[in-house]
Structure 1
Amino acid sequence: MESLKLGSLEVWPPVVLAPMAGITNAPFRTLCREQGGGLFVCEMITTRALVERNAKTLKMIRFGPRENPRSIQLYGVDPVTVGRAVRMIAEEDLADHVDLNFGCPVPKVTRRGGGSALPYKRNLFRAILREAVRNAGTLPVTVKMRKGIDDDHLTYLDAGRIAVEEGVAAIALHGRTAIQHYGGTADWAAIARLKESVPEIPVLGNGDIWSADDARRMMDLTGCDGVVVGRGCLGRPWLFADLAAMCEGSGERRRPSLGEVAATMDRHAALLTECFGSEPHAVADFRKHVGWYLKGFVVGADLRRRLATAESLAGLREGLAELDPAQPWPDGVDAPRGKTHPRDRVHLPAGWLDDPYDLAVPEADAELDTSGG
């Protein structure tokens, strides 16, 4: 297996942590990075917020001294603003790699023409990529996208060719349409078709990677050059140890006991406290991780509830101390995590599907603090 080459960057193993809002902050990236190498992308930020130097946004793109390469994912709908944001990153040395998000399926994004709705507008998509690459200097620019809006409006092959023509360094494809959201089964065959269509640049596969063995199967079946892992690592930063072992040709897999999981939960909450500078804020933010960490383990409902409603590190640690440290890793947890329901329809701006070559920029409030893909 070869390393992933993104311009001048060489990434080994060819594994990418997908940006997830409220998840892939510096503490979570630290936990994942300690397990194995790869590319660990920060939470998605909007280009408008970056160029306006929004204080919250600038905090989100802080990287630790050991984070290398530093990776930022941008979301934008205006070519000019995207270009300014990328130039700012390059000139101020804010990151080593820029990814552009065209995969977000959230209704409040797609109804404004952003995220997974945008590649349908071929000329606007091209203009955004052109401005990003032109302003990036030596930084590699990559793209993450979905198959399209729905099965009647697939865009990934056209978008792939446009990306190659505009100098994008790699493409990550989530094998679902926007209407699928995270439901159903990811279409790995589409990843294979994209790889065949754009042999000039690396193609990364995303969707339904719940284990290192899933990643191996995806790469074997599609010929993709690497994998992007999102929901599969929720509550499981050690998945990156499994992925590193898989890329080295090893069948070794991490199966931590409940005691090891509890220690990781404790450290995760402590890192959040250090990052946020507020223990109540950090512990409240950590609550959403509790169910993911404990998935499959035998833990009483009352204890789960107390852990998921803890208000302080002391309260959290009190509950963690009640867990059975010898309980082994449960079977059957290499399965979907997070929300999996499809959508009834994709919310789009009025007349969005009328002209796929319209270059009009979506309305200004299309850039929201929402991530996903």
Structure 2
Amino acid sequence: MSTSVVAPAPALRIGSLTLDVPVVLAPMAGITNTAFRRLCREYGAGLYVSEMITARALVERTPETMRLIAHHPSEKTRSIQLYGVDAPTVYKAVRILNDEGLADHVDLNFGCPVPKVTRKGGGSALPWKLDLFQDIVESAVRGAGDLPVTVKMRKGIDPEHLTYLDAGRIAEAAGASAVALHGRTASEFYSGQADWSAIARLKETITSIPVLGNGDIWSGEDGPRMMRETGADGVVVGRGCLGRPWLFGDLAAAFTGSEERHRPNLALVAQAFRRHAELLSEFFESEERGCRDIRKHVAWYFKGYPVGSEIRSALALVSSLAEVDELVERLGDAPYPTEGAEGQRGRAGSPKRVVLPENWLNSRELEGDQRERLTEGAGDTSGG
């Protein structure tokens, strides 16, 4: 792996926020809760965004939503991603965050590709309707007051229905403080290779606010490389940090010109895994629930390391921190496996047809009763 020295990256300014390191943690459902954000922050620096929150649930103040938007006192910049398909509801949700001092930054989700969201006209399907997209961004900016509002989106629905350049222009004109582009369409899901050239085209189009690039940031070196190749002002990291919270430390080092990188042996990975389980137990206020949640992280943390199937299976069934302690003590301190622990994380999937509302692609504007039929999808959805 190359560890060439690069010139330190400039600070990233997003509205009133200044990031010493131009790195943002992408919202990921069931992943970027307070526990994971705290863990990543212990290794590096940047802006750490919450899980995706539905605007309607926030307006209705559902108990789970109010718990998810709560931040630990150590989180000095509180960043919340909202998803909505109705401008008045988004406005009310952002007003709550602003008026009650619950956030320092609001991100709007227009990138989620999962069917339960796109079939409702939300996520990556929504920017196709230019009037609806503009209404939502303008409403969020109006409700935010001095809080910076950013937009996260994909290239479009599929190669024949690209939306990112139009959406970028609209977001800029509507007062967004930055736009972030995942270099894939909704139909690509997470398959193939992210199209960084689209990020470069967006950067050429948007001139007054920062443009952030998302997609295939797997190592510390990838961050500066994306910025060199695209002209982006910062990078957004999603799947690359799964089981590798120290990626934020590697990116911070790379952006400051340092060759230092985290190459943890198995014992250090086990420590991080255990720390994650501890933070999850605190977040859920339940050791059993926290340990249940850490189970899905097992394959990501120990990717490439010599951990036998018996211990992997046992880790995927833990229900207490004592069980975690007993199992990680048996792992040993095998050295860092280089390439085996690096590269793509999570399921890439394969291209698929995007599920959309009826007649959605007939026009770039809402038609007939489409607005009335829009409802928020919910559930285990990604930030895009």
In structure 1, distance between residues paired with 2:373 and 2:313: 42
Listed as ranges, the gaps of 5+ residues in structure 1 are: none
Give the letter for the 1:54 counterpart. Answer: T
Q: Deviations over 1:105-145 (max 9, x none)?
A: 00111111110000000010000001000111000000000
1:372 Cα deviation after fit: 2.7
Q: Is the 8 A contact 1:132 1:141 kept in 2?
A: yes
In structure 1, distance between residues paired with 2:294 and 2:373: 34
Structure 1 counterpart SS, 2:362: coil
Q: Is the 8 A contact 2:80 2:106 kept in 1?
A: yes
Q: Are residue 108 (structure 1) and residue 116 (structure 2) matched?
A: yes
Give the letter for the 1:135 counterpart. Answer: G
Structure 2 counterpart SS, 1:65: coil
Q: What is the aligned counterpart of 2:188 among 180, 192, 203? A: 180
In structure 1, distance between residues paired with 2:288 and 2:117: 30
Farther off after superposition, 20-29 or 358-367: 358-367
Farther off after superposition, 70-79 or 255-264: 255-264
Q: What is the aligned counterpart of 1:265 among 237, 262, 273? A: 273
Q: Are residue 212 (structure 1) and residue 220 (structure 2) matched?
A: yes
Which residue is 1:323 aligned to?
Answer: 331
With over 3 angstroms needed to count, the CA separation of the structure-2 counterparts of 1:316 and 1:143, relative to structure 1, is same
Listed as ranges, the gaps of 5+ residues in structure 2 are: 1-8
State TM-score, norm by structure 1: 0.98
In structure 2, distance between residues paired with 1:33 and 1:200: 29
Give the letter for the 2:377 counterpart. Answer: E
Q: Deviations over 1:17-57 (max 9, x none)?
A: 00101101111101101111110001110000000001000
Structure 1 counterpart SS, 2:153: strand
Q: What is the aligned counterpart of 1:139 among 133, 147, 158? A: 147
How does 1:1-373 map onto structure 2 within 5 Å? Answer: 1-325=9-333, 327-332=334-339, 333-358=341-366, 360-361=370-371, 363=373, 365-369=375-379, 370-373=381-384
Aligned length: 372
Structure 1 counterpart SS, 2:64: helix
In structure 2, distance between residues paired with 1:293 and 1:78: 38
1:371 Cα deviation after fit: 2.8
Give the letter for the 1:182 counterpart. Answer: Y
In structure 1, distance between residues paired with 2:42 and 2:173: 36
Structure 2 counterpart SS, 1:366: coil
Q: Deviations over 1:132-175 (max 9, x none)?
A: 00111000000000000000000000000001110000000000
In structure 2, distance between residues paired with 1:366 and 1:67: 28
In structure 2, distance between residues paired with 1:358 and 1:221: 37
Farther off after superposition, 288-297 or 312-321: 312-321
In structure 2, distance between residues paired with 1:68 and 1:223: 29
Give the letter for the 1:94 counterpart. Answer: L
State TM-score, norm by structure 2: 0.95
Structure 2 counterpart SS, 1:228: strand
1:311 Cα deviation after fit: 2.0
Q: Is the 8 A contact 1:262 1:320 kept in 2?
A: yes
In structure 2, distance between residues paired with 1:37 and 1:279: 28
Give the letter for the 2:336 counterpart. Answer: W
Q: Is the 8 A contact 1:21 1:372 kept in 2?
A: yes
Q: Is the 8 A contact 1:113 1:362 kept in 2?
A: no
Structure 2 counterpart SS, 1:212: coil
In structure 2, distance between residues paired with 1:31 and 1:82: 30
Which residue is 2:6 aligned to?
Answer: none
Give the letter for the 2:378 counterpart. Answer: L
Q: Is the 8 A contact 1:75 1:367 kept in 2?
A: no
1:334 Cα deviation after fit: 2.2
In structure 2, distance between residues paired with 1:146 and 1:6: 20
Give the letter for the 2:274 counterpart. Answer: D
Give the letter for the 2:300 counterpart. Answer: W
In structure 1, distance between residues paired with 2:296 and 2:372: 33
Q: Is the 8 A contact 2:85 2:375 kept in 1?
A: no
Structure 1 counterpart SS, 2:187: coil
Q: Aligned Cα RMSD in Å?
A: 1.1
Q: Give percent identity, aligned residues only.
A: 59
Q: Deviations over 1:236-255 (max 9, x none)?
A: 00001001101111121111
1:362 Cα deviation after fit: 6.0
In structure 1, distance between residues paired with 2:121 and 2:95: 24
Q: Deviations over 1:188-241 (max 9, x none)?
A: 000000000001110000000100111121111000000000000000000010
